[in-house]
Amino acid sequence: MEEIEESFPDIREAVRRLCAGFPGAYWQALDRERAYPTAFVEALTEAGFLAVLIPEAYGGSGLGLQAATAVLEEIHRSGCNGGACHAQMYTMGTLLKHGSDAQKQMYLPRIASGDLRLQAFGVTEPGAGTDTTRIRTFARREGDRYIVNGQKIWISRAEHSDLMVLLCRTTAREACAKPSDGMSVLLVDMRKAVGNGLTIRPIRTMLNHATTELFFDDLEVPAENLIGEEGKGFRYILSGMNAERILIASECIGDGHFFIDRASAYARERNVFGRPIGENQGVQFPIARAYVQLAAAAGMVDRAARMFDAGQAGGTEANMAKMLASEASWYAADMCVQTHGGFGFAEEYDIERKFRETRLYQVAPISTNLILSHVATHVLDLPKSF
Ligand SMILES: Cc1cc2nc3c(=O)[nH]c(=O)nc-3n(C[C@H](O)[C@H](O)[C@H](O)COP(=O)(O)OP(=O)(O)OC[C@H]3O[C@@H](n4cnc5c(N)ncnc54)[C@H](O)[C@@H]3O)c2cc1C
C-alpha cells in the first residue's frame, strides 16, 4: 500500500486539490437529477489529466498507464467519480494503435487539448450480450461511405462525446471463417450523426452514469473513418480493453480507500454504549479485512499497469486486477454501510451513492464470470464451456 501511495505524489496531490473543489454536495445534486458533471470534467480536462496516455508528439503528456491509474484512484478516493470521463483517457488507444497517420494527426492533438471528446465506445448490443461476435449492427460499404444500421445498448457518455469508436459487422458472422472475423471499427462523428441516422435514448440506471441506447437507421459514415483494416476490428477493440480494465480497477481501489477512510473515521468517533463503536472487534475486523483485501488487489492493479507500460501482453493480469479490485471495493462498500448503521443510507454521507457506483464494476466493462472463464480456460487449460 505504501508503494502505491508513493507513486506519482505530485499528480496525486494535484488531483486531490482539484477534487476538493467538487465535494459531496456537488455529486449529490447531480445524482438527484442524473445530470452530467460538466464542470468537473472541464476542470480535469484543463488540468491535462485526461491526456496522460496521449504521446507528447500529439500534445498529451505521454506518461503511461501507471500515471493514469494514480489519477483515477485519487478521483475516486476523494469521493468523486471518474466514470463521466475516464473513457476520454483510453478510447483513443484504438486510434493511436491502429489508426493511420492522417487520422492520428487529425484527431489526437484535439483530443489531447479537450477540444474533441472521444469518450463513447459502442460495442454492447441487446441481442449479443457478452458474446461480442454476435453483434448485428452492420456497416454496408457504398462507394466512399458506409451505411450503418442496427442498435447498441449501454453506450455511456454518447450524449457528451463528439466522436465514438463503433464496432460493427462489415461481413455477416455466417460468412466468416472465424466468428471474430468480419467486424470493423468506425470513428463516428456524433455531431453530424445525431438526427441524421443516429438516435440516442438515455437509460436511467441505479447510478448517474450517462448511459444510453443507440439506434442506427441508414447512418452514413465516410469510408475514411474506418480505423485500420476492414474485418479486423475485433482484434483492435480487444487490444484496448486491457487498458480499460486496469483503469477501472484503479477506480475500484480509490473507492475502496474512500470506504475504508470513512468507516475508520466514523468508527473512531461514533459512541454507542459509552464507547467508540470502533473499539468493538465486530466493527474493527471488517474494516481491517477490507484494507487487507484492497492492498492485495492494489498490488495486482499495479502489476497489470506495469506490464501494460512495458508493452507486455498482460491480458490475464488486467482481468485479474479488475476482478480483485471490484470485489475488494464492493466488500469495502458493504462494510462501510454497516459501520455507519442508519447513516450509511443518508444521501448526505455519500456512502450510499458510492455503494451504488462501485457495484457497477463487477458487471461492466466485463462481468466476473467471464474473467473466471478466461482464467480457467486460458491459464489453467480447463475445457471450454462456450
Ligand atoms: C452502466 C453501464 C455502462 C456501460 N457502458 C458501456 C459502454 O460504454 N460501451 C459498451 O459497449 N458497453 C457498455 N456497458 C455494457 C457492459 O460492458 C455489459 O453490460 C457487460 O459486459 C455484461 O454484458 P451483458 O450486460 O450483456 O450481460 P450478459 O452477457 O447478458 O450476461 C448476464 C450475466 O450472465 C453471465 N454469463 C453470461 N454468459 C456466461 C457464461 N457463458 N458463463 C457464465 N456466466 C455467464 C454474465 O457474467 C452476467 O453476469 C455498460 C453497462 C452498464 C450497466
Where do the structural domains in the chain lie, given as residue ranges?
2-113, 118-232, 235-379
pLDDT at residue 5 in the model: 55
At which residue does the C-alpha cell 436511467 appear? 204
Mean pLDDT across 324-349 = 98
Ligand 1 neighbour 205 (Cβ under 6 A): yes
Query: What is the Cα–Cα distance from 331 to 291, expressed in whole angstroms?
Result: 10
The ligand 1 atom nearest the CA atom of 157: 8
Full DSSP string of 93-162: HHHHHHS-HHHHHHHHHHHHHTSS-EEEEE---TTTTT-GGG---EEEEETTEEEEEEEEEEEETGGG-S
| Nearest residue (CA) to ligand 1, atom 4 | 154
Mean pLDDT across 28-33 = 97
How would you classify the pairing of strands 118-122 and 163-169? Answer: parallel
> How many CB atoms lie under 10 A from the CB of residue 291?
19
What Å distances lie between residue 102 and 96, 99, 222, 227, CA to CA? 11, 8, 14, 11
pLDDT at residue 100 in the model: 98
pLDDT at residue 162 in the model: 98
Ligand 1 neighbour 232 (Cβ under 6 A): no
Mean pLDDT across 67-88 = 98
**pLDDT class of 361 with cuts at 50, 70, 90:** very high
pLDDT at residue 286 in the model: 98
pLDDT tens string 104-133: 999 999 999 999 999 999 999 999 999 999
**pLDDT class of 284 with cuts at 50, 70, 90:** very high
pLDDT at residue 239 in the model: 80
pLDDT tens string 184-207: 999 999 999 999 999 999 999 999
pLDDT tens string 143-169: 999 999 999 999 999 999 999 999 999
> Residue 175 in contact with residue 157, Cβ under 8 Å?
no
What is the CATH architecture of 235-379?
A: Up-down Bundle (1.20)
C-alpha cell at 233: 476490428
> Residue 212 in contact with residue 158, Cβ under 8 Å?
yes
Buried b (16+ CB within 10 A) or exposed e, 230-244: bbbbbebbeebbbbb
Q: In the chain, pLDDT over 70 holds for what percent of residues? A: 98
Which of the four CATH numbers 3.40.50.150, 2.40.110.10, 3.40.50.300, 3.40.50.12140 does domain 118-232 have? 2.40.110.10
pLDDT tens string 238-248: 889 999 999 99
Check if 269 is active-site.
no
pLDDT at residue 6 in the model: 65
CA of 240 to the centre of ligand 1 (A): 17
pLDDT at residue 222 in the model: 98
pLDDT at residue 3 greater than cutoff 90 = no
Ligand 1 neighbour 363 (Cβ under 6 A): yes
CATH T-level fold of 2-113: Butyryl-Coa Dehydrogenase, subunit A; domain 1 (1.10.540)
pLDDT at residue 347 in the model: 97
The ligand 1 atom nearest the CA atom of 372: 43
**pLDDT class of 214 with cuts at 50, 70, 90:** very high
Query: What is the pTM (predicted TM-score) of this model?
Result: 0.97
Ligand 1 neighbour 124 (Cβ under 6 A): yes
CA of 126 to the centre of ligand 1 (A): 10
Query: What is the Cα–Cα distance from 223 to 39, expressed in whole angstroms?
Result: 35
